[in-house]
Amino acid sequence: MAAHKPVEWVQAVINRFDEQLPVKASSQSTHTKVSTEHNKECLINISKYKFSLVISGLTNILKNVNNMRIFGEAAEKNLYLSQLIILDTLEKCLAGQQKDCMRLDETMLVKQLLPEICHFIHTYREGNQHAAELRASASGVLFSLSCNNFNAVFSRISTRLQELTVCSEDTVDVHDIELIQYINVDCAKLKRLLQETVFKFKALKKPAQLSVINSLEKAFWNWVENYPDEFTMLYQRPQTDMADCAEKLFDLVDSFAESAKRKAAVWPLQIILLILCPDITQDITQDISREAVEESKVNKKLFLENLRKALAGHGGSKQLTESAAIASVKLCKASTYINWEDHSVIFLLVQSIVMDLKALLFNPAKPFSRGAGSQSADVDLMIDCFVSCFRINPHNNQHFKVCLASSSPPTFHFVLVNSLHRIITNSPLDWWPKIDAVYSYSGELRTMFAETLSRVMQGCSAHAPLRMTPSLTFKEKMTSLKFKEKTTDLDTRSYKYLLLAIVKLIHADPKLMLHNPGKQGQEIQSSTAELITGLVQLVPQASMGEIAQEAMEALLVLHQPETIELWNPDAPIETFWDISSQVLFFICKKLIGHQMINSTEILKWLREILICRNKFLLRNKESATLGSGIPICRQAQTKLEVCLYMFLWSPDMEAVLVAMSCFRHLCEEADIRCGVDEVPVQTILPNYNTFIEFASVSNMMSTGRTALQKRVMALLRRIEHPTAGNTEAWEDTHAKWEHATKLILNHPKTKIEDGQEWINMTGFLCALGGVCLQQRSVPGLATYSPPMGPLSERKGSMISMGSSEGNVETPLSKFLDRLLSLMVCSHEKGLQIRTNVKDLVGLELSPALYPMLFNKLKNSISRFFDAQGPVPINDTNTQFVEQTIAIMKNLLDNHTEGSSEHLGQASIETMMLNLVRYVRILGNMVHAIQIKTKLCQLVEVMMERRDDLSFCQEMKFRNKMVEYLTDWVMGTSNQAADDDVKCLTRDLDQASMEAVVSLLAGLPLQPEEGDGVELMEAKSQLFLKYFTLFMNLLNDCSEVEDDGQQVGGRKRGMSRRLASLRHCTVLAMSNLLNANVDSGLMHSIGLGYHKDLQTRATFMEVLTKILQQGTEFDTLAETVLADRFERLVELVTMMGDQGELPIAMALANVVPCSQWDELARVLVTLFDSRHLLYQLLWNMFSKEVELADSMQTLFRGNSLASKIMTFCFKVYGATYLQKLLEPLLRGVITAPEWQLISFEVDPTRLEATESLEDNQRNLLQITNRFFLAIINSSCEFPPQLRSVCHCLFQVVSQRFPQNSIGAVGSAMFLRFINPAIVSPYEAGILDKKPPPRIERGLKLMSKILQSIANHVLFTKEEHMRPFNDFVKNNFDAARRFFLDIASDCPASDSVNHSLSFISDGNVLALHRLLWNNQEKIGQYLSSNRDHKAVGRRPFDKMATLLAYLGPPEHKPVADTHWSSLNLTSSKFEEFMTRHQVHEKEEFKALKTLNIFYQAGTSKNGNPVFYYITRR
């Protein structure tokens, strides 16, 4: 468009600009501000090409806006803002006008734009806060306009001058003459103005003459300041025509000034006119010494003399003295624009007056003042004087000291500071001295800042406004007027102005305040700290907006990298960390605490500070971390995190985005700091990755508020690591949320904006809660980690944590309780609150809080069922149930990242059953049917997420659910008259059946226990019940379908529903039959031969489905029981990828210790038969080693691992012990030489005839014989036991590497060899007990052997000490033996598995142990941290198998003889092992035939074998 129709396009842009002005647009947000700025830039760019179009468009807009009628304060402010925007745009367009660009159409200018601009300049109302700004802006437009269109403006002035020569005295309107003050004047233009004035001056009316005099002086300064080079040239090459004009005007004005009053009015112009005539000035100044002066110059000379007199105070009138002061200052100021090298005579003139001038203006005893109305003019005069004197001679600093003195009036301080500011900011000429000439005064300036600051802060705290408001409201204006009478308040105001000036000065040149020559590093640091902390205190002062804004700017300048270096040049980086951290800490604390009105602006500024900090750190990359370890640095980082987190729930979208973008700078800082020490960034910012994501999302300017909050919450849920920052942010927000919740509940009329903040806070607490939960239960990490994972972590699992008994009153727990109570809040905003809570908990809650939520919901709903008698049904309870269903459905439906990990940590069975129980009794009202339908949908979703959830007794639970939900299926038994209710019940049928389908998938039916009916029979009846129900439902569907064929239209939807219901029912039947072929096929097969065709067809459909599903019909085989037991053994011995044994270890953890002997037998037998004994031992020993406090306690107690070890030694070591010990023992008992010998070495037990030394020798001799036999038997040592020892050695080495082999020796002697030596008869090695004397010897011998194995000497028993030498000498031999038997593990295939013959007793015992502990195993597995690694499948399979097998056969308790024998009978195994039958060929051949199986035992406890003849 721009190319083809430029005019239309430009017009479109102008219209858009117009529409978005504040006065036209209703609401002002950051977004509209940005687009207004954008429009403005756009117009300025276009004006370079389509100048006239843009200017005329803007002129029209300005006209229209000026003519608008406005009512109310807000509208007035918008009008003023709009005018400022238009004027500013005009000025920039005009300023950018190219020189060669077509001149603006004169008529347009003169008739349209100029009058509008003049309107602002002329209608300057005193006291209107906006008028001054508008006037300044309009004069800027006029200035730009006059650059290229001088003639238009000049003609207006000229015309007015002409009019003023002929008008009457009363109607003098000098407004247009005042335009002279604002226009752009160069040398030529100034000449034209002077010539015009000379031409008309005499004829003008008096007010016009005064106005011209005043305006021309201003025009002169416009020229000098904008074209200083032209003025300087004037003194190098004088221009006669300029001088002529000036001289003529001087004479005219001089003759006009008859009275003192008129003199005072014209002197400032006269001095300037003199300056414009360099030659005349030179003559006069040189001629002052000579008397003769040309006549034409007499008046000039006289003027100068009068001026000097008046300045010295001899002029006779105060008015003249003041005028002389003004004229002198103008002279000094003009002289600074002349180059020294021109040695101009004007400097002599200046020198002759400057001393008097300073004495007049800078006299603390009698400050210069022209009365109350002209205070600011006085100050400006003093500043001009100060700056000019500095430029004339920077080293003459008398007046400097006067102004610095703390005793001087505040005005002097104000002048000093503002003069310095001007010296810094305004220095276009080369010969003007720079500010560094006064750096030496930085100390005094800092003191002035500190004192002024403390005065202002005291003044503020004396009567600070209660609520910080953005602008002074009317009431506050009144109060501030009242205070005016008090001097203190006036002082505070003047101090505020001074403070503002000082802060601006710091902003202009921070080096001025940081200059510290010759001081110590520590001193420099503390002075910088004082300066910066002073500025920081000003930032949150909303009541002093301008000062706060300047303080922020000053701090930004101070944070520029090159300036930070000056904070303390001796130790820049350490100082940076210290001071900058204090800045962050203070600001963030304020931002968190007050929720300041301009907090978003402060946050943006904080972002700039963070950017500067990182720039500085990058410059000093190599040593960026020097001194960053100080506490304030950590505290600042924490506070900053808290602050950014808390802005994330701000209702102001911009604030949220700014906070998110700040996270990037935190990450950059961490990158730099960690780069130095080469550590991962997570050491400083544990949540680095999420922070980076926050930063990248912060560019989503275009999203809506809700979408942004959703994104924020999703990211908050991803924060994994608890830090001081996020915990504190959560707790602070929680406190604010509690407060806000009370407010909303107590004041229902609260505005919805506050509601938005409350919603954001709730979401924030839900999403970030998980991290805080984690923070409370960080488990102690064990140093050593066997393949199973340290127990400490398993124990500190979420189950105990999330349980309601543990830590009841954590803030998190309180928060969730409060949320649940809001789910049923019944106040007029109740619905809104309930909906929000439901959505936020269901969709935004951190998955880590699921277990806690589940438990709280479970407990709340359980309370309905606590009391005896009927369940209380009331609206509140029903509402709670309905909300719970909605939350649970959302929660399970919504696959939040990380949800599957936490869903299974608390069981939801009880809650679900109670929900169903409650909903069952609600009756059949419309609402009740809707709730039932929702509940069915929840059950379906629950089964979809079955793998992530944990069930303690899944089969029992699902059976119960099927029983309840099938009750709700009405079919056509529902005779509701109302069509709507009919529709609802159809929906319920559909939902119930869909839920039942999901529940029945792979579900073995499990009848209630204890009906006295045989298991298969009970299952069969249950199957029949459901199958019949489903068949009836199918019949209903087909009947209704038949009816439906007659009726058209309205029934079509119904028939679609029926088709869907029929499909569900067929699926349900298939699932039911599929999982229960054994008990169900007999009932259902008859349907294939049913007389009704429809029924037969349905049965074929079901049969087809189950065949497609791959139903295992082998459950009908005779061997089904054996197969299932076989699968049970497989499950228990199943091994995970990491070598873990989930089910076996779970069983080991939950079986009560009274049954450990049996469990040890069962596990060793089963695992060995599967060639997995080593894995079992590894897992068991690892657990034991992990729990042991030290080496000394290993395998000493009666733990399951000890029992397993003992059982292994007993079963696999029997033959070896027999071979090893029987000959030795028989030798000792039968050999004649040992018959009378005693081994007693305890002096207290010696008989009189015995000799202690002999006995000791005997004991040593026999011990040595036994010891040698043992250590030389390593080649005979059974391979299975080698495997046990090797495993033990490996496991212990991981935790106690220094003496792991010792553990093997200790355990082997303690659990294996010594028991057999001490009690050979009981161990089955000897046929009868040895005599007591020898028994005593064996016992003492075992002590010595155990000491050798333990690698310790005797210390406690005195009588054993003599054997210490023997013990010590055999340490090494024993150690070699232990290493020999433990160091290499035989391959599992080469080991003979003597137990490959598993007796049924062990399998039945396994079944019983699993059945009785099934629930505990489920809980253990889901709370275990390996839960995710292993998954749910093993446990599910186990539960299904157990459900098929049913409860174990209960043996009568009275028959203890049987059961005890059955439990411990292992004689057969031992017999088979001892004679190594399994090695023999006949045994192997027999085994392959499968013609024997063994079950039970005879009365004597021997195994009973059955011979299967038909094989």
pLDDT, average across residues 1204-1216: 81
Kindly tell me if the per-residue pLDDT of 1465 is higher than 70: no
Q: How many CB atoms lie within 10 A of CB 1375?
A: 19
pLDDT, average across residues 585-595: 82
Q: How many CB atoms lie within 10 A of CB 319?
A: 16
pLDDT of residue 466: 37
Work out whether the CA dihedral 1496, 1499, 1504, 1507 comes out positive or negative.
negative
Gap between the Cα atoms of 1134 and 1140, Å rounded: 9
From 1269, 1346, 1361, select the one nearest 1311 (Cα to Cα). 1346
Identify the DSSP state of 1508: -
Q: 1277-1312: per-residue pLDDT in tens?
A: 888 888 888 887 888 777 777 767 777 777 778 778
Identify residue 361 by its one-letter amino acid code. Answer: L
Gap between the Cα atoms of 943 and 938, Å rounded: 9
Q: 532-574: per-residue pLDDT in tens?
A: 888 888 887 777 778 888 888 888 888 888 888 888 888 888 8
CB 1227, CB 1482: distance < 8 Å: no
Residue 731 tokens, joined:
């707790």
pLDDT-derived band at 596, boundaries 50, 70, 90:
low
pLDDT, average across residues 1065-1088: 80
Kindly tell me if the per-residue pLDDT of 266 is higher than 50: yes
pLDDT, average across residues 1070-1098: 77
pLDDT of residue 935: 92
pLDDT-derived band at 936, boundaries 50, 70, 90:
very high
pLDDT-derived band at 1011, boundaries 50, 70, 90:
low
Residue 472 tokens, joined:
């002074």
pLDDT, average across residues 100-118: 62
Phi, psi of 284 (to 5 degrees): -60, -50
Cα 262 versus chain centre, distance: 74
Give the DSSP per-residue string, 269-286: HHHHHHHT-HHHHHHHHH
Q: 272-295: per-residue pLDDT in tens?
A: 666 667 666 666 666 554 555 566
| 1487 contact partners, CB below 8 Å, separation of at least 6 | 1397
pLDDT-derived band at 1455, boundaries 50, 70, 90:
very low
Kindly tell me if the per-residue pLDDT of 798 is higher than 50: no
- For the chain, the helix, strand and coil percentages under 3-state DSSP, each to the nearest 5: 70, 0, 25
Residue 1467 tokens, joined:
């004689």
Kindly tell me if the per-residue pLDDT of 232 is higher than 90: no
CB 952, CB 1007: distance < 8 Å: no
Comparing 1392 with 804, the larger pLDDT belongs to 1392
| 1317 contact partners, CB below 8 Å, separation of at least 6 | 1221, 1266, 1338, 1341, 1342, 1345
Kindly tell me if the per-residue pLDDT of 201 is higher than 90: no
| 393 contact partners, CB below 8 Å, separation of at least 6 | none
Identify how many contiguous H helices and E strands the chain contains and give both numbers: 69, 2
Kindly tell me if the per-residue pLDDT of 1334 is higher than 90: no
Gap between the Cα atoms of 727 and 855, Å rounded: 23
From 137, 161, 127, 126, select the one nearest 89 (Cα to Cα). 137
Kindly tell me if the per-residue pLDDT of 81 is higher than 60: yes
| 550 contact partners, CB below 8 Å, separation of at least 6 | 500, 503, 504, 507
Residues paired with 1497 in a beta bridge: 1503
Most confident of the following: 138-142, 396-400, 634-638, 1004-1008: 634-638
Q: How many CB atoms lie within 10 A of CB 199?
A: 13
Most confident of the following: 177-181, 1084-1088, 1466-1470: 1084-1088
Residue 1416 tokens, joined:
């505990």
Most confident of the following: 948-962, 1172-1186, 1486-1500: 948-962
Q: Can you list the positions of beta strands (E) in 475-565?
A: none
Mean pLDDT of the chain: 74
Gap between the Cα atoms of 778 and 792, Å rounded: 10
**SS3 state of residue 1285:** helix
Kindly tell me if the per-residue pLDDT of 1497 is higher than 70: no
Comparing 215 with 412, the larger pLDDT belongs to 412
Q: 44-62: per-residue pLDDT in tens?
A: 777 777 777 777 777 777 7
pLDDT, average across residues 87-108: 65
Comparing 1032 with 3, the larger pLDDT belongs to 1032
pLDDT of residue 1453: 34
Q: How many CB atoms lie within 10 A of CB 717?
A: 25
pLDDT of residue 611: 92
**Continuous segment of H or E residues that includes residue 1505:** strand 1503-1507
Task: Count Cβ atoms within 10 A of the Cβ of residue 82 and give its class: 0-12 exposed, 13-18 middle, 19 or more buried.
Answer: buried
CB 1027, CB 964: distance < 8 Å: no
pLDDT of residue 1040: 59
Phi, psi of 1507 (to 5 degrees): -110, 125
Give percent of the chain with pLDDT exceeding 70: 70
Comparing 124 with 1420, the larger pLDDT belongs to 1420
pLDDT of residue 1117: 57
Kindly tell me if the per-residue pLDDT of 1070 is higher than 80: yes
pTM as predicted: 0.70
From 1269, 1267, 1273, 1268, select the one nearest 1341 (Cα to Cα). 1267
Burial string for 218-254 (b: 16+ CB within 10 Å, else e) reads bbbebbbeebeebbbebbeeebeebbebbbbbbebbb
- HEC profile for 123-137? CCCCCCCCHHHHHHH
Q: 460-498: per-residue pLDDT in tens?
A: 665 444 333 333 333 333 333 333 334 455 667 777 888
CB 1142, CB 1426: distance < 8 Å: yes
Q: 324-383: per-residue pLDDT in tens?
A: 777 777 777 777 777 766 656 677 677 767 776 676 777 666 667 665 556 667 777 777
Kindly tell me if the per-residue pLDDT of 638 is higher than 80: yes
pLDDT of residue 998: 92
Kindly tell me if the per-residue pLDDT of 758 is higher than 70: yes
Kindly tell me if the per-residue pLDDT of 876 is higher than 60: yes
Identify residue 901 by its one-letter amino acid code. Answer: E
Give the DSSP per-residue string, 1041-1107: HHHHHHS-THHHHHHHHHHHHHHHHHHHHHHHHHHTHHHHHHHHHGGGG-S-HHHHHHHHHHHHHHH
Comparing 1157 with 768, the larger pLDDT belongs to 768
Work out whether the CA dihedral 88, 92, 97, 99 comes out positive or negative.
positive
Residue 1004 tokens, joined:
């073995």
pLDDT-derived band at 168, boundaries 50, 70, 90:
low
From residue 535, how far is each of 139, 410, 643 by CA, in Å? Answer: 34, 20, 20
Kindly tell me if the per-residue pLDDT of 776 is higher than 70: no
Task: Count Cβ atoms within 10 A of the Cβ of residue 1357 and give its class: 0-12 exposed, 13-18 middle, 19 or more buried.
Answer: exposed
Gap between the Cα atoms of 852 and 777, Å rounded: 13
Alpha helices by DSSP H, 1231-1251: none
Ranking 53-62, 273-282, 420-429, 786-795 by mean pLDDT, the lowest is: 786-795
| 1296 contact partners, CB below 8 Å, separation of at least 6 | 1185, 1191, 1303
Name the CA radius of gyration of the chain, rounded.
51
Gap between the Cα atoms of 335 and 761, Å rounded: 66
Residue 805 tokens, joined:
């008994």
Gap between the Cα atoms of 429 and 231, Å rounded: 12
Gap between the Cα atoms of 95 and 141, Å rounded: 8
pLDDT of residue 281: 66
Kindly tell me if the per-residue pLDDT of 1355 is higher than 80: yes
Gap between the Cα atoms of 785 and 806, Å rounded: 27
Comparing 1480 with 1321, the larger pLDDT belongs to 1321
Gap between the Cα atoms of 1281 and 1168, Å rounded: 12
From 7, 89, 82, 85, select the one nearest 49 (Cα to Cα). 7
Cα 599 versus chain centre, distance: 19
pLDDT, average across residues 870-883: 84
pLDDT of residue 405: 74
